[in-house]
Chains A and B, each alone.
Chain A
Amino acid sequence: MNTNKVIQVEGLTKMFGDFAAVNAITFDVEKGEIFGFLGANGAGKTTAMKMLIGISNPTSGKANVAGFDVFKNAEAIKKSIGYMSQKFALYDDLTVKENISFFGGIYGLSRKRIKKKSEILIEELGLEDVANKLVGSLPLGWKQKLSFSVSLLHDPKIVFLDEPTGGVDPITRRQFWEMIYKAAHQGTTVFVTTHYMDEAEYCDRVSIMVNGKIEALDTPKKLKEQFKVDHMNDVFLKLARG
C-alpha cells in the first residue's frame, strides 16, 4: 500500500435491494489533500461516506481508510478519523465545554489533554463568552465551527465533512474554509461534500458523483479545461444533467 494514500477505494458498492446507491466507485485520496466529493442530492455521496467511516456495511468492493480495511476493521478506522454530519450532532443540552469534554472523553483523551485542547479550541473560535452556555442557544454558524473543531479533537488522520456549510452565511463559510485549510496544512486529510461550487474551487481535487457513479475526478482546473467551461458550476451542470 502506498503510504501517501490515506483512502483507497476500488469498486465500492452499496445495494439497497435492487438499487445501487453507490455503484462500483474507485478513487484514492492523498495524505493532506482536500478532496471535494460532489454530487446532486441523492447521487449517493452520503451513503459512500458512511461506508468509509465504518457505519454502513458495503455490499462489495474494496476500501482502505487510514490503513484499515472497512470490511474487517471498521472499528479501528474510527480511531483515526473525525466526522461531521449533515445534521448538527453535538448535544444541544450540554454546554460548549461539556460537549468538548464529552467527545474528548469518548475518544480516550486524558483529562489534562481535554482541558488544554478545550482552552485552545475555545480561544481559536472566540467562544470564551459562551463557553458555559448550552450549545442549543448558539447561532448555526458557531455550532458548525464548534462541530468541526470537535471532530478534530483527537487529531485524526482524516476528517470527513458532510455538507458542513449548509445554511451558513458567506462570512462564516469563508471562516470555515480557513479552518479547513489550516487543518489540511497541519497534515489532516479533508474529505468534504458540498453543494457550493465556489467551495469546490477551493479543493485540491474534486470528484463528481452522478446516480451512484463517479463521473469525473480531477483538479478543479483540469475539470474546467476538460469540459471547456469557466466555472465549476458549469462542470457540475453538464455532468448532473447528463
Chain B
Amino acid sequence: MKTILYIIQKEFKQIFRNKGMLPIIFVMPILQLVILSNAATFEVKNIKFGYIDNDNTSTSRALIEKFTASTYFNVLSDFNSEVEASSAMLKGDIDVVLDIPQNFNHNLQKEKYNNLGITINAIDGAAAGVENVYVTQIIKRFNKDLKVDLLQVSDQQIQTVTIESIPLFWFNKTLNYKTYMVPGILVLLVTMITLFLSGMNIVREKEIGTLEQINVTPIKKSQFIIGKLFPFWIIGLGLLTIGLTLARLIFNVPMLGSLGLMYLYTSIYILVILGIGLFISNFTDTQQQAMFISWFFVVIFILMSGLFTPIESMPYWAQKVTEFNPVKHFVEVMRMIMLKGSNLNDIGPQLLKTALYAFIMNGLAVWSYKKTN
C-alpha cells in the first residue's frame, strides 16, 4: 500500500510539473466541449433553394411563397430553364431545385393531379434526406390547403379525411440537439483523454529507460499498475465534473437522475479505458506506436457509439460489434441518467457489462505487463 502511494505521488508530481501537458488535459477538453456542442448539429438550415416556374400562375407562386416563408430555405434563384438550374447545382450554388411544370394550375383544376420535379444535391446524403423531408412536408401542406379550396368550389358533399400525427418528444421536448449532443461529447472527451494518457504513460517510461529501473526493483506488478493508473482515474473523474458543470451552466442540459449513480458508473467505465490504454502500452515500444493504436480504437469507438449514427440502423453484425464498444454503453448511460432520470435498476445491464469489461481488460493488462522478458 505504501509503495502504491509513492508511485501515485510521483505520477501526480510529473503530471502537474509538465507545463505542456496540463493544458492538454484540462483546457483542450473544455474548449472542445464548448465548440463541438455548438457546432456538431444535425439540424439542416439555410438550404440554398432555387426554382423554375414554367407555369407562372397564382397557384405556382403560392407554392413558391411557402418555401420563401420557411426559415429552413434560403430562396436564392429563379431559374429560366432546367439547363441553368443544373449548372448552378453542378457549381454547388444550389442544394434544392423545384421544377414547376407548365399548366400546373390548369392540370390541378381540371384533372386534380400533377407532378412536380424536385432535384436535391445528395453529396451529403444525410442532409439530402432531411431536405427531402422538409420539401415533402411543405408540398403536403400546400396540397392540403389547395384541396380545401378546390372542394369548396366544386364538391362540398365529400368530406376530407386526413390522418395527422402530432409527435410528442419524450425526454427532450423541444428536440434540442445540444441536450442530446453534450452528454455524448462529454463521454468522448473523458474517453479520449484517459485513453491517451494511460496509453502513452508506461510506454514513455519504456522509451526513457526508467521502466527497466522499475523492473529491477521488487515492486509487485499490481502495485505498479494501480499506482500508475490511479492518477488518470482521478483526472477522468475531474474531467467529468468539469464537463457536467459546463453542461449545466452553459448548455442548460438537465440532470434528472442521480449524480452519485453517474459517478459510480463513470468510475467503473474509466477503469475499462485505463485497462485498454495499459494493454496498448504493454504491446508497444514507442509513444508513436501507442498513439496510432489508440487512435485506431478511438475512431472505431466514436463512430460505432451511436452518438452520430443510430445503432439501430447499423447492419446486424455491426450492432453486435457495438456491444464491445465501451463508449456505446457510456453514451447510453449518460443520456439515460441525465435526460431520463434512470435509476440503478435501469442502467443495471450496462453497469454489469462495463464492470465485467473493466475486470477483463485490467486482468489482461496486468497479465501482459512483464517485469521479466
Supposing A55-B371, A93-B18, A106-B219 touch, asked if A98 and B10 sit within 8 A by C-beta, the answer is: yes
Whether the pair A108, B210 counts as a contact (CB closer than 8 A) is no
The reply to whether the CB of B110 lies closer than 8 angstroms to some CB of chain A is: no
Q: A55-B371, A55-B373 are in contact. Are A94 and B10 (CB under 8 A)?
A: yes
Residues of B within 8 A of A105 (CB): 2-3, 5-6
In the complex the two chains form, is A107's CB within 8 Å of B217's CB? yes
Q: Does A59 contact B (CB under 8 A)?
A: no
- Contact with A54, one of B10, B18, B216, B219 (Cβ below 8 angstroms): B216
A83 touches B14 (CB 8 A): no
A92 CB → nearest B CB, Å: 8
| A241 surroundings in chain B (CB, below 8 A) | none
B183-223 residues at the A interface, CB under 8 angstroms:
208-210, 212-219
Of the stretches A5-13, A17-25, A71-79, A197-205, the one at the interface is A71-79
**B208 cross-chain contacts in A, Cβ below 8 A:** 87, 89, 92
B112 an interface residue at 8 Å Cβ cutoff? Answer: no
Interface size, B (range): 20 to 34
B:1-15 near A, CB below 8 Å:
2-3, 5-7, 9-10, 13-14
Q: In the complex, what residues of A have CB within 8 A of residue B7's CB?
A: 106
B213 & A89 in contact (Cβ 8 Å cutoff): yes
B372 touches A102 (CB 8 A): no
- Nearest residue, chain B, Cβ from A114: B6
Contact B3 A106 (CB under 8 A): yes
DSSP class of A's interface residues: helix, strand, loop or mixed? loop
Q: Does B173 contact A (CB under 8 A)?
A: no
A53 within 8 A of B: yes
What bracket does the count of chain A residues touching chain B fall in?
20 to 34
A111 to chain B, nearest CB (A): 9
Chain B: minimal CB distance from A168 (Å): 17
Known A-B contacts A57-B373, A94-B13; A103 and B210 likewise in contact (beta carbons under 8 Å): no
User: Of residues 268 to 304 in B, which have CB atoms within 8 Å of A's CB atoms?
Assistant: none
User: Distance in Å from the Cβ of A70 to the closest Cβ of chain B?
Assistant: 9
Chain A residues contacting B372 (CB-CB under 8 Å) are 54-57, 74
- Count chain A CB atoms within 10 A of each CB in B208, B215, B218 and give the residue with the most: B218
**A101→B372 CA distance, assembly (Å):** 25
A206 at the interface (CB under 8 A from B): no
Q: Taking CB as reference atom, which chain B residue is nearest A150?
A: B213
A91 at the B interface (CB under 8 A): yes
Contact for B6 among A55, A57, A75, A102, CB less than 8 A:
A102
Cβ of A81 under 8 Å from chain B: yes
- CB pair B6–A88 under 8 Å, yes or no, is no
Interface residue? B17 (CB, 8 A): yes
Complex Cα–Cα for A90 and B45 (A)? 58
B218-A108 in contact (CB<8A) = yes
Indicate if A85 sits at the interface (CB-CB under 8 A): yes
Say whether B213 contacts A85, CB under 8 Å.
yes
Question: Are B218 and A90 touching (Cβ within 8 A)?
Answer: no
B111 → chain A closest CB, angstroms: 83
> Are B218 and A83 in touch, CB under 8 angstroms?
no
Residue of B nearest to A87 (CB): B209
A107 B218 Cβ-Cβ under 8 A: yes
Nearest A residue (CB) for B227: A106
B5: A residues at CB distance < 8 A = 105
Contact of B216 with A53 in the complex, beta carbons under 8 Å? yes
- The answer to whether B216 and A106 touch across the interface, beta carbons within 8 angstroms, is no
Contact of B209 among A78, A85, A101 (CB under 8 A): A85
Taking beta carbons and an 8 Å cutoff, which residues of A are in contact with B?
53-57, 74-76, 78-79, 81, 83, 85, 87-94, 98, 101-103, 105-108
Chain B interface residues (CB < 8 Å from chain A) = 2-3, 5-7, 9-10, 13-14, 17-18, 208-210, 212-219, 371-373
A sample of 13 inter-chain contacts (CB < 8 A) reads A55-B215, A55-B371, A56-B372, A78-B217, A87-B209, A87-B212, A89-B210, A91-B14, A102-B9, A102-B10, A106-B7, A106-B214, A108-B218
